[in-house]
């Protein structure tokens, strides 16, 4: 009996001295970046920038409707909306880009006014009305379905 116990040993001691497999590290992820911008058609690219412009422009309108407009939020939304409108102009052919120029200049003027240090809630109502009129014009004349035949070819 003593011989069997000495040969077999204590189970916990046997478990302790048995080799265990080392855990395998997880495989490293393979990251292959693909450029999807080349796969986009001109209408898809214009539609994307139109939707982003619409988002930032609506954000600017919401920021101006607040009782006390937050200057940082107004400046950010105005900057982003202006940038997207400029990008949209770059996607249009010469004739359509010429039609968009006055709206772009008006958006730049709105951006200049809301970025000035003297901008306050009293002037926001006037800016909001100008912005609403401009938004209606852009939706009416530069909606992506209406402008799809006036885009630059790649």
Residue 7: band (very low, low, confident or very high) from pLDDT cuts 50, 70, 90: low
Mean pLDDT of 30-57: 86
Are residues 46 and 147 in contact, defined by beta-carbon separation less than 8 angstroms? yes
Residue 5: band (very low, low, confident or very high) from pLDDT cuts 50, 70, 90: low
Query: Tell me, what's the pLDDT at 16?
Result: 78
Residues in CB range of 40: below 8 A, 6 or more apart: 48
Mean pLDDT of 78-105: 94
Q: Which pTM value belongs to this model?
A: 0.72
Phi, psi (5° rounding) for residue 92?
Answer: -90, 155
Mean pLDDT of 7-25: 78
Angle made by CA atoms 154, 105, 153, in degrees to the nearest 5: 10
What percentage of the chain carries pLDDT values higher than 90? 52
CATH code of 41-150, in short, is 1.20.120
Sign of CA dihedral 140, 143, 146, 149: positive
The gap from C-alpha 102 to its chain's centroid, in whole angstroms, comes to: 25
**Is the pLDDT confidence value at 95 over 70?**
yes
Residue 4: band (very low, low, confident or very high) from pLDDT cuts 50, 70, 90: low
Residue in the block written with tokens 């937050």: 70
Q: Is 152 exposed, middle or buried (0-12, 13-18, 19+ CB in 10 A)?
A: middle
Query: Tell me, what's the pLDDT at 154?
Result: 67
Query: Tell me, what's the pLDDT at 148?
Result: 86
Q: What is the pLDDT of residues 44-89, one digit of tens each?
A: 999 999 999 999 999 999 999 888 888 899 999 999 999 999 999 9
Mean pLDDT of 106-135: 89
Report domain extents, the chain.
41-150
């Amino acid at each position: 009996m003593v011989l069997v116990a000495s040969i077999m040993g204590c189970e916990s001691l046997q478990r302790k001295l048995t080799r265990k497999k080392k855990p395998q590290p997880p495989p490293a992820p393979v990251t292959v970046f693909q450029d999807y911008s080349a796969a986009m058609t001109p209408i898809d690219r214009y539609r994307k920038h139109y939707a982003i412009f619409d988002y930032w422009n609506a954000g600017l309108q919401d920021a101006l409707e607040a009782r006390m407009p937050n200057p940082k939020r107004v400046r950010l939304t105005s900057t982003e909306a202006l940038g997207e409108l400029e990008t949209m102009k770059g996607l249009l052919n010469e004739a359509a880009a010429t039609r968009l120029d006055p709206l772009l200049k008006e958006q730049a003027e709105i951006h200049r006014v809301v970025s000035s240090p003297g901008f306050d809630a009293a002037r926001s109502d006037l800016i909001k009305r100008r912005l609403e009129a401009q938004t209606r014009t852009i939706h009416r004349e530069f909606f992506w379905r209406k402008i799809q035949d006036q885009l630059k070819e790649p």
